Amino acid sequence: MIEAITDQHESVYEKEVIFEDKVRVTLLSWGVIETFFGKKGSIMEKKRIHSVKTKIKQIVSGRFVNQEGLNPNYVITNQGVRLARVRILATIVDKFVSENGKFASISIDDGSDTIRVKAFNAVSMFDNVGVGSEIDLIARVKEYQGEIYLAPEIITVVEDHNFGLLRELELRLQQTEFDSKRKTVLEHQKQTADIGELERIMKERFGIQPDEVEAIVQSQEEAPASDKKDEILKLIEKHDEGNGCDYSELLKVSGLPEDVIDSAVNELLSEGVCFEPRPGKIKKL
């Protein structure tokens, strides 16, 4: 039997135990132990999940997705970003520690929304922080009984207020880069036969990874029309040269399914936000 440390990164410790042709991997993260079994070599293909800088609103307004096996669960945002491990700069607005000392939680606010951060057993993580503390948090996205929450891995108290300005600039740059990717994917979606062809073209021509393409397409297919009204209204204004926006132009530039556009346009018309100056044209009042 051979025992070796295979990975140690931030708060996650992994130990591989090899016995004959079987591999047992134990993950120890803040006192929570999980053990998995598989054939030798297969477990080594597991990818490390990188943390994504984001706002709380993107997490709590997204849809939580449970995956099977070792695949990480994640939230898919309305725009099509998968969030499994996140990094958030926020202020603690509430703190709770159970009497037996085995559970603690903090509520954090980053100006966009609030979310709870829960620690089971490893409550000492919250010893040096309290209400009013500004923290830089790295955590896993979790869900229980309909509540999306965060399981902390690293908590750093932020002393320099300029750090917040830097994070805002980072998020804006990140959003600009993602918007460009999203636009490219949606523009090419209708020109391809299936998701496989789209993923191949995006990777070969633009360096956009298949999982990014899949998430963007998935978010578009699942988005209710009501979530797309604002986006469609902006497109109507942008492509109105005076006599209204052509419906065919909306289909072309939005990248949305036709039924989603139909439903959103009908809502805008029924609400009196837009009108039809003539068939095939939509104009904002």
d(CA 40, CA 18): 7
Is the distance from CB of 97 to CB of 126 less than 8 angstroms?
yes
Confidence (pLDDT) at 71: 84
261 band by pLDDT with thresholds 50, 70 and 90: confident
Whether CATH 3.20.20.70 fits 52-159: no
Range of weakest confidence among 196-205, 213-222, 236-245: 213-222
Q: Flag whether pLDDT at 194 surpasses 80.
A: yes
222 band by pLDDT with thresholds 50, 70 and 90: low
- Residue 185's Cβ-side half-sphere holds a number of Cα atoms within 13 Å equal to 29
How many CB atoms lie under 10 A from the CB of residue 246? 16
Confidence (pLDDT) at 44: 42
The pTM assigned to this predicted structure is 0.65
Q: What are the tens digits of pLDDT across the range 34-90? A: 444 444 444 444 456 889 999 999 999 888 999 888 889 999 988 899 999 999 999
Assigned token pair, 265 = 């346009």
Range of weakest confidence among 51-65, 94-108, 154-168, 251-265: 251-265
227 band by pLDDT with thresholds 50, 70 and 90: low
Domain-wise residue ranges, the chain: 2-45, 52-159, 163-221, 225-284
Average predicted confidence (pLDDT) for the chain: 82
Q: Flag whether pLDDT at 131 surpasses 50.
A: yes
Assigned token pair, 116 = 């709870």
Confidence (pLDDT) at 69: 81
Domain 225-284: which topology? Arc Repressor Mutant, subunit A (1.10.10)
Q: What are the tens digits of pLDDT across the range 177-188? A: 998 999 899 889
30 band by pLDDT with thresholds 50, 70 and 90: very low
**Rounded average pLDDT over 125-148:** 95
d(CA 1, CA 206): 46
Provide the percentage of residues in the chain whose pLDDT is more than 90: 52
Confidence (pLDDT) at 220: 75
Backbone angles phi, psi at 284, to 5 degrees: -80, 140
* Same fold: 52-159 with 225-284: no
Q: Which helix (H) or strand (E) holds 38?
A: strand 32-39
Confidence (pLDDT) at 64: 93
Confidence (pLDDT) at 263: 81
